[in-house]
Amino acid sequence: MAKKTQTSTNPADTKDELSWRERFAALGNLPAFFKLVWEVSPALFIGNAFLRLIRAAIPAATLYIGKLLIDEVVRLSAPGGPDDTTYLWTLVGAEFGLAILSTALGRAVALMDGLLGDLFANRTSVRLMEHAATLDLEQFEDATFYDKLERARRQTNGRTALLSGVFGQVQELISVGFLAAGLAVYNPWLLLLILVAVTPSFIGDNYFNQRSYSLTRSWTPERRELDYLRFVGASDETAKEVKIFGLSGFLIDRFRTLSDEFFQKNKALAISRAGWGVVLTALGTAGYYGAYVWIVARAVSGQISLGDLTFLAGSFRQVRGSLEGILLQFSSLTQEAIYLQDLFDYFAIEPLIHSPKTIRPFPKPIREGFVFDNVGFKYTNSERWALRNLSFTLQAGEKLALVGENGAGKTTLVKLLARLYDPIEGRILLDGHDLREYDLEELRRNIGVIFQDYTRFKMSAGINIAVGDIDQRTNQPRIETSAQRSLADTVIAKLSGGYDQQLGRSFGKGVELSGGEWQKVALGRAYMRDAQLIILDEPTAALDARAEYEVFQRFGQLTDGKSSVIISHRFSTVRMADRILVLENGTLLEIGSHYELLEKDGRYAELFGLQARGYQ
Ligand SMILES: Nc1ncnc2c1ncn2[C@@H]1O[C@H](COP(=O)(O)OP(=O)(O)OP(=O)(O)O)[C@@H](O)[C@H]1O
């Protein structure tokens, strides 16, 4: 099996400090982002852009009308000036109209941003789930994958801010363009002065944004741990043990320590940011007042009108504010764009286990069975071989039991059969052909596995059985027959809501089942699908003696003609199998029928003897 290739194109994965070049490069993610947003709703996208464009012209227009208004007031109020005030009131009306328009456009834009943001969050969550469904189990077991997933998840909700941020940025730029054009008409040097005035705070903000990005990013694993601690500290799944073992103090302490540490680091950064902010903004303000003095002096000397004075002072103030905003936004924008990389990185993760391009028809029925040919496997995060040099045949129609001490590799073997992983060494053949030649979904459809750590879905009892073949979830007779076979029918008969009864206490009127009751329900899943190979991984560990006996009586009859693999530590169960495979440290120690292995007097006989003595 090839090594996992969770390569990251995100520069921040390898270092915490990013250069300007990398920040600009991150802006390259924006087109792909806008494409995603466009796909969510072209109408909202266009509407939003259009309204923002109109809104961008309003500040300059308002200031200019203000200038005309003041000049007109001066003209009318001059001794011997004209009496006709029509033009004056027209200007007042125009300014009022612009004010109303600006507010209305602001609301409309905010509404569109909100709608677009919500839609985007929903669609992206769906895509995240769809993509997760394609990935390998191994990828889910990797902590760096989880960090990536976590960051990608955060992207789905936080992106509304990015959306309005970028749109707002463009709007502001156009606004500034109008205002700057006005200023340039009077004196182009004013523009230069503005740039000088805003530069210090831009550099400062950029620096601190960078630091805060690095901090947030380097704390992703801890933030995940905080979420986990919050969950463990307050969830129905853990409440029992948290209480019995008195864990809440321990959990809260751990949470407090971690969150305090993060708070302290964040606080130090925030304080230094605020302090520098005051100094750098003061520099900018000094620049502003320098220009103000110049404008006022020109007005006093009569070189510009009173209207010009207000227009210039207003434009200057606005351009400075807007530019500051744009530059500030720019650095957070590059930061957001870098975060976006996480989303794209996540979507770029490819599963390694998939169907081949040309698919071999799945044998129906299986004739020769499964052959393990010198199979070896180790988990990515482990140095140890979980299985090594494993060769045996699971014949068609055979009932095979897997026996071995904890960690011997039994579950791993089953996972390889279902192609949750692929072998690193050797191969597994089905009717003479590598498992990798068959369609993955079809293979899994033909194999029914109930794992020891099966999932207790917080859904109805019926669905908890139907997950064995979810397409059949409305096939009530099938669900009920499966329930009868796994003895779940007696459990469900006691539930007031029957098959519709919500299980687990997370939602509504959910009821909790006992461990054995849950196991009977989960076992029902194995009978839902018409699988050719049924695998039960310690299926009866929680069942009482009578239930276990009955389950295996039925299992024997119902899997007649089918292949089955049973993993169990109970030899009363194991001995019913046609053959027993004894694993030790990932290698095959013995294989044979119960009597053959007893006769051999090896490890199986020893373990069997140990358990039998316990009952004497
Ligand atoms: N996801 C995993 N990542 C890394 N190592 C794993 C993983 N799952 C199992 N292992 C390791 O692989 C070895 C075999 O595990 P496996 O679950 O197959 O044992 P088992 O025989 O089914 O044990 P048990 O009887 O306790 O269920 C063990 O050493 C275990 O620690």
Please tell me the predicted confidence (pLDDT) of residue 387: 94
Q: Are residues 464 and 396 in the same domain?
A: no
Q: Is residue 357 a part of any domain in this protein?
A: no
Q: Is residue 14 a part of any domain in this protein?
A: no
Ligand 1, pocket-test mutation among 136, 379, 420, 540, most atoms within 8 A of CB: 379
Ligand 1 in reach of 69 Cβ (< 6 A)? no
| pLDDT tens digits, one per residue of 417-433 | 999 999 999 999 999 99
Domain count along the chain? 3
Confidence of residue 590 (pLDDT cuts 50, 70, 90): very high
Q: Are 374 and 344 in contact (CB under 8 A)?
A: no
Residue nearest ligand 1's atom 12 by CA: 386
Ligand 1 in reach of 379 Cβ (< 6 A)? yes
Q: How far apart, in whole angstroms, are the C-alpha atoms of residue 411 and residue 567?
A: 8
| pLDDT tens digits, one per residue of 372-405 | 999 999 988 888 999 999 999 999 989 999 998 8
Residue nearest ligand 1's atom 18 by CA: 409
Quick one: CA dihedral 362, 366, 367, 368, positive or negative? Answer: positive
Q: Are residues 198 and 253 in the same domain?
A: yes
Ligand 1 in reach of 142 Cβ (< 6 A)? no
Q: Are residues 428 and 462 in the same domain?
A: no
Residue nearest ligand 1's atom 25 by CA: 406
* Residue bearing the bigger pLDDT, 386 or 12: 386
Q: Does pLDDT of 310 surpass 60?
A: yes
Structure tokens at 14: 């390898």
Please tell me the predicted confidence (pLDDT) of residue 8: 46
Ligand 1 mean position, distance from CA 395 (Å): 25
Please tell me the predicted confidence (pLDDT) of residue 260: 93
Ligand 1, pocket-test mutation among 410, 420, 421, 424, most atoms within 8 A of CB: 410
Ligand 1 in reach of 407 Cβ (< 6 A)? yes
Ligand 1 mean position, distance from CA 63 (Å): 72
Ligand 1 in reach of 474 Cβ (< 6 A)? no
Residue nearest ligand 1's atom 7 by CA: 379
CATH of residue 411: 3.40.50.300
| pLDDT tens digits, one per residue of 249-301 | 898 999 999 999 989 988 988 999 889 888 888 887 888 888 888 888 988 99
For the segment 579-606, the average pLDDT, to the nearest whole number, is 92
Mean pLDDT (the chain) is: 85
Q: Final residue of a domain: which of 530, 549, 566? A: 530
Confidence of residue 89 (pLDDT cuts 50, 70, 90): very high
Q: Are residues 565 and 526 in the same domain?
A: no
Please tell me the predicted confidence (pLDDT) of residue 489: 92
Structure tokens at 575: 């001995």
Out of 139-148, 252-261, 384-393, 512-521, which region has the weakest mean confidence (pLDDT)? Answer: 139-148
Q: Are 280 and 201 in contact (CB under 8 A)?
A: yes
Confidence of residue 483 (pLDDT cuts 50, 70, 90): very high
Residue nearest ligand 1's atom 28 by CA: 407
* SS3 label, residue 245: coil
For the segment 361-367, the average pLDDT, to the nearest whole number, is 89
Q: Are residues 134 and 226 in the same domain?
A: yes
| pLDDT tens digits, one per residue of 21-75 | 777 787 888 888 888 888 989 999 999 889 988 988 898 899 899 999 998 998 8
Ligand 1 in reach of 87 Cβ (< 6 A)? no
Q: Is residue 309 a part of any domain in this protein?
A: yes
Predicted interface score ipTM higher than 0.85? yes
Ligand 1 in reach of 535 Cβ (< 6 A)? no
* Residue bearing the bigger pLDDT, 591 or 330: 591
Of the candidates 418, 449, 415, 450, which has an alpha carbon nearest to the alpha carbon of residue 436?
418
For 610, the domain range is 368-446+533-616
Q: Is residue 7 a part of any domain in this protein?
A: no
Q: Is residue 237 a part of any domain in this protein?
A: yes
Q: Are residues 58 and 45 in the same domain?
A: yes
Please tell me the predicted confidence (pLDDT) of residue 159: 57
Q: How many CA atoms lie within 13 A of 609 on its CB side?
A: 10
Q: Is residue 514 a part of any domain in this protein?
A: yes
Q: Are 521 and 551 in contact (CB under 8 A)?
A: no
Ligand 1 mean position, distance from CA 586 (Å): 9
Q: Are residues 477 and 608 in the same domain?
A: no
Please tell me the predicted confidence (pLDDT) of residue 53: 86
Q: Are residues 417 and 465 in the same domain?
A: no
Ligand 1 in reach of 496 Cβ (< 6 A)? no
Ligand 1 in reach of 410 Cβ (< 6 A)? yes
Query: Angle 188-218/306-348 helices, nearest 10 degrees?
Result: 30
* Residue bearing the bigger pLDDT, 616 or 231: 231
Q: Are residues 425 and 478 in the same domain?
A: no
Between the alpha carbon of residue 520 and those of residues 388, 487, 490, 524, 598, the distances in Å are: 33, 6, 9, 6, 31
* SS3 label, residue 598: helix
Query: Angle 220-233/188-218 helices, nearest 10 degrees?
Result: 50
Q: Are residues 338 and 211 in the same domain?
A: yes
Q: Is residue 360 a part of any domain in this protein?
A: no
Please tell me the predicted confidence (pLDDT) of residue 155: 66
CATH of residue 278: 1.20.1560.10
Residue nearest ligand 1's atom 30 by CA: 407
Polymer length in residues for the chain: 616
Q: Final residue of a domain: which of 507, 530, 553? A: 530
Q: Does pLDDT of 582 surpass 90?
A: yes
Q: Does pLDDT of 10 surpass 80?
A: no
Of the candidates 400, 522, 513, 386, which has an alpha carbon nearest to the alpha carbon of residue 453?
522
Q: Is residue 165 a part of any domain in this protein?
A: yes
Q: Are residues 166 and 225 in the same domain?
A: yes
Q: Final residue of a domain: which of 530, 565, 583? A: 530
For the segment 366-370, the average pLDDT, to the nearest whole number, is 90
Ligand 1 mean position, distance from CA 559 (Å): 27
Please tell me the predicted confidence (pLDDT) of residue 568: 86
Out of 181-190, 261-270, 335-344, which region has the weakest mean confidence (pLDDT)? Answer: 335-344
Ligand 1 mean position, distance from CA 414 (Å): 11
For the segment 80-98, the average pLDDT, to the nearest whole number, is 88
Please tell me the predicted confidence (pLDDT) of residue 4: 39
Bridge partners (DSSP) of residue 564 are 399, 534
Please tell me the predicted confidence (pLDDT) of residue 18: 62
Ligand 1 in reach of 568 Cβ (< 6 A)? no
Out of 13-22, 56-65, 228-237, which region has the weakest mean confidence (pLDDT)? Answer: 13-22
Q: Are residues 296 and 400 in the same domain?
A: no
Ligand 1 in reach of 404 Cβ (< 6 A)? yes
